[in-house]
A and B are shown apart, each in its own frame.
Chain A
């Protein structure tokens, strides 16, 4: 019953406002997090068994009649589902304490679960239009979540995010309509088969451009990134963590790779464009991050830069490059989720995001400081943390595929990354304690628990990287390396 990934969070979301009338905090907290935990357990425990004999294509029947809910679970989608539930659970636990002062917790969790359901639906869908539908579901929930604080900055950021996001999805639907016109189909497998048959040449190029623009905006690749540095910092911390850690990857990177690699087939030209976009994002966003004083804004620019690494790795198109890109996607989701959560702890304790005002917080918030350091080093790619291995794989893949220039860029940019993260660590946590913060206390239990969970995962995945790669990353990479054949062949049409 893989449809539970979509339906379970929706049902709980529908019940939450009613439950919220009975119990304002405890029940919504418990129910929402239990749902996320259930999804995580399902993905980790049952999911791998389900796809042991190859991808599962589920066709549901309802009241004895076959209805067309076609969901495909393969290595790639299972991997993404696992990442979504994992980071989603950590952010959900963090919200227990963090969202306390925002009020309307039941409403918050309802929106949060709808967003998770939207992402899961997008991951499982096997139809171009359904991808758009669920992408929009997740997006609508995320606009409200960005604006959840109802402050001026939040509203402005949410409106700007909405405007650009609507343009992105408009281009996507136009692309989908043209594909429908070319092949007469919307289903991934049928479209892939149809595109092979019909020689669409320049029109397919146009559609590719539309999709690049649409998904590029969703993934916030440079030069489509303008909305992200406003939207992600303005949101409440757990939402920033999910937006940066998951949403841009699911509705940007996942959808883009799934459609380009499994449906259209990766051509050398497309591969070159993706790699160029990735490399530009890495460098430009890293340079912009360097100048930021606002802690969360810096993290947001860093997200753009790291998405660049992911796209660069996936764009190479070789099995190793794809594996590296996917592994980095997972590692960045963990580490950036962690960093946004710790920045939330700091903001709640001190009331500011300006790093110049902080200083010496390590003495008052030791757990937050240590977990923040782990996240920073992981993203910067310091061994033996998880981020090191994925960057290493990407760089090796670049050299193997004959792109030494990109490899050099990737190495240099990761030095730059290390620099600005250490700058953040020094300004915020090390040095002399700013007297203003003498009364600051460590974050409450659930907030600490969530960041410790993610930090342990960062370290654990780093140490056990080879088994993580073989159990989770490789099955996903195999699906992508299989190219168009994965959609037309193994989904059994």
Chain B
């Protein structure tokens, strides 16, 4: 449990770094580290499939996409961030964490809940038979993403 909590704290720290770091490349890498930690957390929760997905797709693929975008928009990264926001962000975030902790503490064990239905079979059964509609949704989402990228990177020709 202590190790898990430490991993969770690390996850939050790297995520916050990803937001506050000035250099885009560094923040993309922090984000990848955060994903990696999240993947490990999932493994330790005995959720290996989600963990593998998190590490390969989010820490891997999405980071590549980010780095590619950062490289393609090279001279655009000198955006001056607002000074006030740089100060306010940590303060508000700390306040938020405190409120968050207080709320969770007050809720602790107080939320009534029903037990879930027992799950039958392995992961494949649950994914393929339990949530088949989501798989159709995934296919649709992938199609949407592919067509969106094709549309946005098409050669614009007014007189086609």
* A interface residue numbers (CB < 8 A to B): 6-7, 10, 13-14, 17, 24, 60, 62, 65-71, 101, 103-104, 107-108, 110-111, 114-115, 117-118, 121, 125, 127, 129-130, 133-134, 136-137, 140-141, 143-145, 147-148, 150, 181-185, 194, 197-200, 203
Q: Are B134 and A13 in contact (CB under 8 A)?
A: no
Chain A residues near B108: list those with CB within 8 A: none
Q: Are B113 and A183 in contact (CB under 8 A)?
A: yes
Tell me whether A137 and B148 are in contact in the complex, defined as CB-CB below 8 angstroms, given that A7-B136, A150-B156, A200-B111 are known contacts. no
Determine which of B113, B129, B134, B136 lies in contact with A129 in the assembled complex, contact meaning CB atoms within 8 Å. B134
Please, which residues of chain A bring their CB within 8 A of the CB of B131?
Answer: 68, 129-130
Interface residue tally for chain B (C-beta within 8 Å): 35
Contacts of B141 in A (CB 8 A): 133, 136-137, 140
19 A-B interface contacts by CB (under 8 A): A6-B136, A14-B143, A17-B150, A65-B129, A67-B132, A70-B133, A107-B151, A107-B154, A111-B144, A114-B143, A121-B133, A133-B134, A145-B151, A181-B111, A182-B112, A184-B113, A185-B114, A185-B117, A198-B114
B48 within 8 A of A: no
Per-residue 0/1 for B119-157: is the Cβ within 8 Å of any A Cβ (1 yes, 0 no)? 000000000111111101111110111011011101011
9 extra interface residue pairs, beta carbon distance < 8 Å, beyond A10-B139, A67-B128, A140-B148: A6-B140, A103-B156, A107-B147, A121-B133, A133-B137, A137-B140, A144-B151, A181-B113, A199-B112
Are B137 and A13 within 8 A (Cβ)? no
Chain A residues with CB under 8 Å of B147's CB are 13, 17, 107, 110-111, 114, 141, 144
Query: In whole angstroms, what is the CA distance A111 to B146 when docked?
Result: 9
A134 with B152, Cβ < 8 A, contacts A68-B133, A125-B133, A200-B111 known: no
List residues of chain B with CB within 8 A of the CB of A141.
144, 147-148
Which residues of A lie under 8 Å from residue B157 when comparing CB positions? 103
Known A-B contacts A182-B111, A194-B114; A117 and B133 likewise in contact (beta carbons under 8 Å): no
Contact A203 B111 (CB under 8 A): yes
Bound: A60/B138 CA distance, A: 18
- Known pairs A6-B136, A130-B137, A147-B152; A110 contacts B143 (CB<8 A): yes
Q: When the two chains form the complex, which single residue of A10, A69, A136 contacts B133, counting CB atoms closer than 8 Å?
A: A69
* Cβ–Cβ contact A104 & B130, under 8 A: no
Query: What is the total of A-B residue contacts with beta carbons within 8 Å?
Result: 129
Q: B residues within 8 Å of A by Cβ?
A: 107, 111-117, 128-134, 136-141, 143-145, 147-148, 150-152, 154, 156-160
State A66–B114 Cα separation when bound (angstroms).
27
B residues in contact with A130, CB < 8 Å: 131, 133-134, 137
A118–B112 contact, CB under 8 A?
no
Expressed in whole angstroms, the minimum distance between the Cβ of B105 and any Cβ of chain A is: 15
Are A183 and B148 closer than 8 Å at their CB atoms?
no
Per CB-CB distance, the 4 closest pairs between chain A and chain B, nearest first, are A184-B116, A144-B148, A133-B137, A103-B160
A117 to chain B, nearest CB (A): 6
User: CA of A267 to CA of B153 in the docked complex: distance in angstroms?
Assistant: 48
Contact A184-B114, Cβ < 8 Å, known A104-B151, A141-B144, A141-B148? yes
Q: A103 CA to B159 CA in the complex, in Å?
A: 8
A67-B129, A68-B133, A194-B114 given; A114·B140 CB < 8 A: yes
List chain B residues, Cβ under 8 A from A144.
144, 147-148, 151-152
A28 to chain B, nearest CB (A): 13
Question: CB within 8 A of A68: which of B129, B140, B156?
Answer: B129
Query: Would you give the shortest CB distance from B151 to chain A, in whole angstroms?
Result: 5
Q: How far apart are the CA atoms of A125 and B133 in the complex, in Å?
A: 8
Bound together, the chains give a CA A117 to CA B159 distance in angstroms of 30
How far is it, in angstroms, between the C-alpha of A455 and the C-alpha of B125 when the chains are bound?
50
Judge whether B114 and A118 touch: CB under 8 Å. Answer: no
Closest-CB distance, B50 to chain A (whole angstroms):
14
- Whether A69 contacts B136 in the complex (CB less than 8 A), given A114-B144, A203-B111, comes out as yes
Which residues of chain B have C-beta atoms less than 8 A from A70's C-beta? 133
What residues of chain A lie closer than 8 Å to B144, measured between beta carbons?
A: 111, 114-115, 118, 137, 140-141, 144
